[in-house]
Amino acid sequence: MNLIKNVTAKEGYNKALGSISAILIGLVVGFLVLLLANPANAFDGFITIIAGGFTGGGRGVGQVLYFATPLILTGLSVGVAFKTGMFNIGASGQFVMGAVAAVVVGVHVTLPAPIHWIVALLAAAIVGGIWGFIPGMLKAFFNVHEVIATIMMNYIGMYLCNFIVKETVYNSLKNISLDVQSSAVLPKAGLDKIFVTMHGTYADTSTLNSGILIAIGTAVLIYFIMEKTTLGYELKAVGFNKNASKYAGMNEKRNIILSMTIAGALAGLGGGLTFLSGHSGRHLQVVDVLAGEGFNGISVALLGLSNPIGIIFSAIFISYLTQGGTYLQTFNYMPEVIDIIIAVIIYFSAFALVLRQILPKLKKKLQERKAERVAASEIKESNGGEK
Amino acid sequence: MAVFYLIIQQTMFFTIPLLVVALGGMFTERGGVTNIALDGTMIMGAFAGIFFISQTQDSMSGTTQLLLAIALAILTGIVFSLFLAFSAINMKADQIIGGTALNLFAPAFAIFAARTFQVNGVQQIEFNNTFRISKVPVLGDIPILGDMFFKSCYITTYLGILILIVATFVLYRTKFGLRLRSCGEHPQAADSVGINVYKMRYSGVMISGALGGLGGLIFVIPTSTNFNADVAGYGFLALAVMICGQWKPVRIFIVSIFFGSMKALAAAYSAVPFLANAPITSDFYKMVPFIATLIIMAFSSKNSRAPKAIAQPYDKGSR
């Protein structure tokens, strides 16, 4: 009993409870949507969503991790900016700019194996960083709201990316980017041997590569920077109270720019990790559509409470749901139902942030009332005894 | 001259929805609630209106159908905005997060619904555009002006101008406008003189929902022949227009004309001989409105006159 009390009294528990209740509400809404669209298959469809990535066996789990890789990075990107009190909706643009930088280096530069993909990833992080630096500058020196600035940067990035792909690395037959050189492809690190589904003797391997390891490593690094270094402390201080941190001698403008640049670099790195994956992996498409990874990064950061370690898990969770969505089509449902579920989860997790502050107070009030009642009944009893 | 008229006509197609949506944003922000979900609201409104048009086009056409579609888009926008109002006003949740959730929801819903309810199962909704007015009687005969504003136009253009006039009047010349503005500047003071802050803020958000939904529909109709769960970031551009216009109706109108002409240039540059021959790709023209926004924002945000209580939940107990 005491153990349970200890756990439930912790702040982290309250926080997690908020996220979990939001997830449950999201799933219920998803089920209702399935019921409305086609009642006959709703139950099977819902089971598919719950089973998520497991539906595809070992390969399916690998795919969950493969698609979680960019989400971890865009989630970190949004999360770091959040901690500095800024809302980075621009992860989408930073992501594609990083991606296109990595692909251009991967196709056109010739270097030996490990150096090539490392250089490509660095290019991705730098270009993504520039895409975060610009709105950071605009915010710090011109007071431009970062939400508007990053959204504009998303569209500029999308069109610029299309332009660069068409000019430099274009596979015009498929309207996508060219394959990067084999030396620029991220090593598999044996992960394809683990996450595999056997169809008889045919091994159906997943496209997972060491990108996931780099992503998790980056999350741990960001955790270390935010929690254990002066830089992280300053970034968070600016997020808590801009004026107080200025008064304490911190350069608030510098921190805003730094935070946005780091955020951009993280999202850009995510772009690099996603598109350096060989012939069977993903390629940049020339379409006028914003990259969904950036927006899912917002969901990931909110669900993971902007905590780098939490973000690893929430990214895997979102990817798990999305993979479940791809199997939904066997029941004639559109995979967009997953996006609806995610939107509902975010909507309710915004409440959860508030509920989290109210719940402990409510609990305290209830306890006080209980104590009052006990006291009152004791008085009554003692009065009764006298009579 | 024909090219000039084409550019003017195109400019109106892009200006009017921007104007309408930015005015919607102005009402909600003047009441103290940020509605970043305007983009999603536009998508929902456009979806409802276009879906209605495509389903009824065998039995209906012309202005009657358009007006019904407009009514439906407005209604959808209002209902959609209630979700933001509930989260921002009643639950006191972060308005940007709530709005982002709605922005994620709208395209997902529009694609899901289109693919589920259309017989052919695709996400694009095709529609017959029977709403173009080739020439307005009498006014269309005026030289030059008639060619610019009263030929191959849509009734929505005049509706947009009407909304501008009404919005200006309501905001500055009515009790409601004064009360709404007071809730955005100093809700505690407004409350102390007996104004129901929650009610006023709800009204502001619902007006933005109505105008957002309408704006979505009137953006899609003149500029496209199908609806693909997307309004090309117009809701966000409208927010930028609102900020550049300093939350004032007439300034918003001027700024939206500027952005409208930028957009028109991106859409119609191939019809302009010297632009079509210039060695610049279409991608660059598409970027121009967004780059221009950033530059103008950089110059106009320094002395921002945003409502003071913007994006702060109102709590009766706090001081």
ipTM comes to 0.89
Q: What residues in B contact A146, CB-CB < 8 Å? A: none
pLDDT digits (tens, 9 = 90+) for A340-357: 999 998 898 887 766 666
Q: Is residue A69 a contact partner of residue A212, using CB atoms and an 8 Å limit?
A: yes
> Which segments in chain B show pLDDT lower than 50?
none
pLDDT averaged over every residue in chain B: 87
Check whether A146 has a pLDDT greater than 90. Answer: no
- B79 token code pair: 């209902």
Tell me, yes or no, if B301 comes closer than 8 A to chain A by beta carbon: yes
**Interaxial angle between packed helices B249-268 and B155-173, expressed in degrees from 0 to 180 and rounded to the nearest 10:** 160
DSSP conformational letter for A40:
G
pLDDT average, residue stretch A71-78: 95
DSSP conformational letter for A285:
B
Whether A353 sits inside 8 A of B94 (CB atoms) is yes
Position B85 scores a pLDDT of 95
The residue of chain A nearest to residue B116, with distances taken between CA atoms, is A37
| Strand spans (E) along chain A | 170-171, 176-177, 196-199, 202-205
Closest to B216 (Cα-Cα) out of B81, B112, B120, B116: B81
The residue of chain B nearest to residue A332, with distances taken between CA atoms, is B116
The residue of chain A nearest to residue B287, with distances taken between CA atoms, is A156
Check whether A381 has a pLDDT greater than 80. Answer: no
* Smallest Cα distance from A132 to chain B, Å: 14
B 95-134 near A (Cβ less than 8 A): 96-98, 100-102, 104-105, 107-109, 111-112, 115-116
B 178-197 near A (Cβ less than 8 A): none
Tokens 């945000």 sit at which residue?
B301
Distances (CA, A) of B73 to A14, A54, B82, B264: 40, 41, 14, 24
Which residues have C-beta within 8 Å of that of residue A72, sequence separation ≥ 6?
A212, A215, A216, A218, A219, A270, A300, A311, A312, A315
Strands A196-199 and A202-205, by their bridges, are: antiparallel
Tell me, yes or no, if A113 comes closer than 8 A to chain B by beta carbon: no
**If 0-12 CB within 10 Å is exposed, 13-18 middle and 19+ buried, where does residue B225 land?**
exposed
pLDDT averaged over every residue in chain A: 85
Check whether A7 has a pLDDT greater than 60. Answer: no
- B300 token code pair: 């106009």
Closest to A353 (Cα-Cα) out of B185, B313, B85, B83: B313
- Cα-based angle A82, B109, A351 (whole degrees, multiple of 5): 40
Distances (CA, A) of A170 to A174, A277, B284: 9, 17, 18
Q: Is residue B51 a contact partner of residue B65, using CB atoms and an 8 Å limit?
A: no
> Architecture of domain B2-125+140-300 in CATH?
Orthogonal Bundle (1.10)
Position A246 scores a pLDDT of 84
Q: By percentage, how much of chain B surpasses pLDDT 90?
A: 45
Which residues have C-beta within 8 Å of that of residue A305, sequence separation ≥ 6?
A15, A19
pLDDT digits (tens, 9 = 90+) for A107-134: 888 888 888 999 999 999 999 999 999 9
Whether B302 sits inside 8 A of A163 (CB atoms) is no
- How big is the A-B interface in CB pairs under 8 Å? 132
Domain ranges in chain A with CATH number 1.10.3470: 57-332
Distances (CA, A) of A166 to A258, A268, B114, B233, B307: 32, 20, 31, 23, 44
Distances (CA, A) of A370 to A293, A373, A375, A379: 49, 5, 8, 14
Q: What residues in B contact A87, CB-CB < 8 Å? A: 96
Check whether A168 has a pLDDT greater than 80. Answer: yes
β-bridge partners, A376: none
**Which range among A31-45, A326-340, B96-110 has the greatest average pLDDT?**
B96-110
Chain centroid, CA B2 distance in Å: 28
Which class in CATH covers the domain with range A57-332? Answer: mainly alpha
Name the residue type at position B125.
I
Which residues have C-beta within 8 Å of that of residue A207, sequence separation ≥ 6?
A62, A63, A66, A277, A278, A280, A281, A282
Domain range annotation of chain B: 2-125+140-300
